Amino acid sequence: MNNTVRQRILLSRDIQMDDFNSIETISIERYVSTGGYKALDKALKELKPEGVIKEVKSSGLRGRGGAGFPTWRKWEFVAGAAGDEKYLCCNAAEGEQGTFKDRCLIRSNPHQLIEGIIIASYAVGARKSYLYITESYSKEITVLEKALQEAKEKRYIGEKILGTDFSLDICIRKCPNKYVAGEETAMMEVIEGRAAKPWQKPPHYPANRGLYGKPTIVNNTGTLSNIPHIVLKGGEWFSKIGSPKSPGNMLFTLTGDINRPGVYELPLGITLKELINNCGNGLKNGRGFKAAFLPGNPPLTESQIDVPLDFDSLKEIGSGLGCAAVIVLGDRTCVVDTTLGFSRFRMEESCGQCPPCQMGTAKMARLLQKIEDGQGEMDDLVNIENTCSSSKGQGYCHLLSGAAFIVEGAVRHFRKEFEAHIHERKCPLRSSAGNSL
Ligand code: SF4
């Protein structure tokens, strides 16, 4: 049975869009006075690396960046890899559309993240870690620089941490403000001073041959921010929050035609309806619900509004949670125009090294634009579907497949609306003055 009772772990409050600039950063003094860095002490002096991994395993924590891969599995692999030189990278390159959860986490509680990085580095045997963050997040970079300095002064980072033999250096690495820079192998390239271009995989993944050819753990900001709580309160405590197979909370970034857009910390397994009504205060102007786009996945429809938002439940219905960005469309918002926006974004963000990606994203965007402009033919829909089906699984990273899943899903679920654009030779939701009704 799901345990969807709300319990705050990562954020002390919800952060509505209007409140974003008023987020207060928790100082190191306040963090320590409320139990901060106690988990690090417990990890280093009591649990040891194997004990930390054991707690993370029993917690059931899955990566919060999109793939939902069990965190302990990656950690165990890197911890067991041969050699002394290993790295950890915290991915705070938040390039997906409709998400700003990592910004909120960093702005509000940088020491929670830093403590998570130190514990994770200890568990896998890394002696150097990178905080990889989008260069346009200037405020968050300043917050992190200050917090890292404070942690160094308190000897939580540096040589012989807390009097043990464990030493760690953490550096900030800025990355270009590009979607693809957040892909984990593009991250290796950027940190080593090259352009953000994902690798062909297999043969090599960061866990076996990452930074400087050494085993490297890549974890998301949200994943690592959970670690101090799991270590301090125990994996079993964490495993009872959320869905049985997707334990813990998720930071949902709720935007679109919503009265109260923002970042909401909720147990995995809540439904889309609960998220929209209880957190978002319903749709704007009393509009009905049409769809929710979770970028990189097929959109959810009204008949799916009660499906639990967790990794497995969404996979079962052919969609996916991604990074829990939820973009809601009301019944007067055009699905074709919205799908075109997602498609164009991916075309513009393609790094261009895989021909199917360059051509496929451009073709999807061109055909969608034609339909949205009232110039489309029924053959264009068939052409879109064929392009999507031949694009899935192609390319060195998920950008092209993600575009195909969104577009194919939108056409499948809202075919009548696409056909209406073609038959009426205009968007049926626009007035003659060109405004959405
Ligand atoms: S799939 Fe697209 S974005 Fe990804 S590596 Fe290939 S060209 Fe670049």
Task: Look over the chain and give the mean of its residue pLDDT values, rounded to a whole number.
Answer: 95
Indicate if ligand 1 lies below 6 Å from the C-beta of 27.
Answer: no
Interhelix angle 101-108/138-153, nearest 10 degrees: 40
Q: In the prediction, which pLDDT does 432 show?
A: 47
253 half-sphere exposure, CB direction, 13 A CA radius = 23
Indicate if ligand 1 lies below 6 Å from the C-beta of 396.
Answer: yes
Using an 8 Å Cβ cutoff, are 268 and 310 in contact? Answer: yes
Using an 8 Å Cβ cutoff, are 266 and 279 in contact? Answer: yes
Chain segment 419-430, per-residue pLDDT in tens: 999 999 999 998
pLDDT for 1 beyond 70: no
* Distance in angstroms (rounded) separating the CA atoms of residues 372 and 424: 11
More confident residue, 256 or 6: 256
Indicate if ligand 1 lies below 6 Å from the C-beta of 399.
Answer: yes
Using an 8 Å Cβ cutoff, are 268 and 64 in contact? Answer: no
Backbone angles phi, psi at 293, to 5 degrees: -100, 125
In ligand 1, the atom with minimum distance to the C-alpha of 198 is: 5
In ligand 1, the atom with minimum distance to the C-alpha of 394 is: 1
Q: In the prediction, which pLDDT does 153 show?
A: 97
Chain segment 61-87, per-residue pLDDT in tens: 999 988 899 999 999 999 999 999 999
Residue 18 vs residues 277, 329, 331: alpha-carbon distances, Å = 18, 20, 24
Residue closest via CA to ligand 1's atom 8 equals 351
Q: What is the mean pLDDT of residues 258-266?
A: 97
Chain segment 217-250, per-residue pLDDT in tens: 999 999 999 999 999 999 999 999 999 999 999 9
In ligand 1, the atom with minimum distance to the C-alpha of 349 is: 3
Report which of 142, 110, 144, 88 is spatially closest to residue 37, judged by C-alpha positions. 110
| End-to-end CA separation in angstroms for the chain | 42
Report which of 198, 216, 223, 195 is spatially closest to residue 92, judged by C-alpha positions. 223
Indicate if ligand 1 lies below 6 Å from the C-beta of 350.
Answer: yes
In ligand 1, the atom with minimum distance to the C-alpha of 352 is: 7
249-424 CATH choice from 3.90.340.10, 3.40.640.10, 3.30.830.10, 3.10.20.600: 3.10.20.600
Chain segment 158-194, per-residue pLDDT in tens: 999 999 999 999 999 999 999 999 999 999 999 999 9
Q: In the prediction, which pLDDT does 203 show?
A: 86
- β-pair partners for 271: 308
Residue closest via CA to ligand 1's atom 1 equals 395
pLDDT for 13 beyond 50: yes
Give 221 Cα–ligand 1 centroid separation in angstroms: 23
Q: What is the mean pLDDT of residues 130-136?
A: 97
Give 187 Cα–ligand 1 centroid separation in angstroms: 14
* Distance in angstroms (rounded) separating the CA atoms of residues 275 and 271: 6
For residue 266, what pLDDT band results from cuts at 50, 70 and 90? very high
Q: In the prediction, which pLDDT does 430 show?
A: 80
Give the total residue count for the chain. 437
Give 196 Cα–ligand 1 centroid separation in angstroms: 10
Report CA Rg, the chain. Answer: 22
Per cent of the chain over pLDDT 70 is 97
Q: Is 109 exposed, middle or buried (0-12, 13-18, 19+ CB in 10 A)?
A: buried
CATH 3.40.50.11540 in the chain: give the residue spans. Answer: 15-239
Interhelix angle 355-372/399-413, nearest 10 degrees: 30
pLDDT for 104 beyond 50: yes
Q: In the prediction, which pLDDT does 112 show?
A: 98
Q: In the prediction, which pLDDT does 85 show?
A: 97
Per cent of the chain over pLDDT 90 is 92
Indicate if ligand 1 lies below 6 Å from the C-beta of 196.
Answer: no
SS3 labels along the chain: CCECCCCCCCCCCCEEHHHHHHCCCCCHHHHHHCCCCHHHHHHHHHHHHHHHHHHHHHHCCECCCCCCCEHHHHHHHHHHCCCCCCEEEEEECCCCCCCCHHHHHHHHCHHHHHHHHHHHHHHHCCCEEEEEEECCCHHHHHHHHHHHHHHHHCCCCECCHHHCCCCEEEEEEEECCCHHHHCHHHHHHHHCCCCCCCCCCCCCCHHHHCHHHCCEEEEEHHHHHHHHHHHHHCHHHHHCCECCCCECEEEEEEEECECCCEEEEEECCCEHHHHHHHHCCCEHHHCCEEEEECCCCCCEEHHHCCCECCHHHHHHCCCCCCCCEEEEEECCCCHHHHHHHHHHHHHHHCCCCCHHHHHHHHHHHHHHHHHHCCCCCHHHHHHHHHHHHHHCCCCCCCHHHHHHHHHHHHHHHCHHHHHHHHHHCCCCCECCCCCEC
Indicate if ligand 1 lies below 6 Å from the C-beta of 198.
Answer: yes
Q: In the prediction, which pLDDT does 5 show?
A: 63
Peptide bond into 49 cis (omega under 30): no
Q: In the prediction, which pLDDT does 3 show?
A: 55
Indicate if ligand 1 lies below 6 Å from the C-beta of 397.
Answer: yes
Give 323 Cα–ligand 1 centroid separation in angstroms: 19
Token code pair at residue 45:
């002096």
Q: In the prediction, which pLDDT does 435 show?
A: 45
Give 183 Cα–ligand 1 centroid separation in angstroms: 10
Indicate if ligand 1 lies below 6 Å from the C-beta of 186.
Answer: no
Backbone angles phi, psi at 170, to 5 degrees: -120, 125
* Distance in angstroms (rounded) separating the CA atoms of residues 181 and 191: 10
Give 199 Cα–ligand 1 centroid separation in angstroms: 9
Give 340 Cα–ligand 1 centroid separation in angstroms: 19
* Distance in angstroms (rounded) separating the CA atoms of residues 68 and 315: 11
pLDDT for 434 beyond 60: no
Chain segment 195-225, per-residue pLDDT in tens: 999 999 988 899 999 999 999 999 999 999 9
In ligand 1, the atom with minimum distance to the C-alpha of 179 is: 3
Give 224 Cα–ligand 1 centroid separation in angstroms: 27
CATH class held by domain 15-239: alpha beta
Residue closest via CA to ligand 1's atom 5 equals 396
In ligand 1, the atom with minimum distance to the C-alpha of 358 is: 7
CATH 3.10.20.600 in the chain: give the residue spans. Answer: 249-424
The residue with tokens 């965190």 is 71
pLDDT for 88 beyond 50: yes
Q: Could you tell me if the ipTM is greater than 0.90?
A: yes
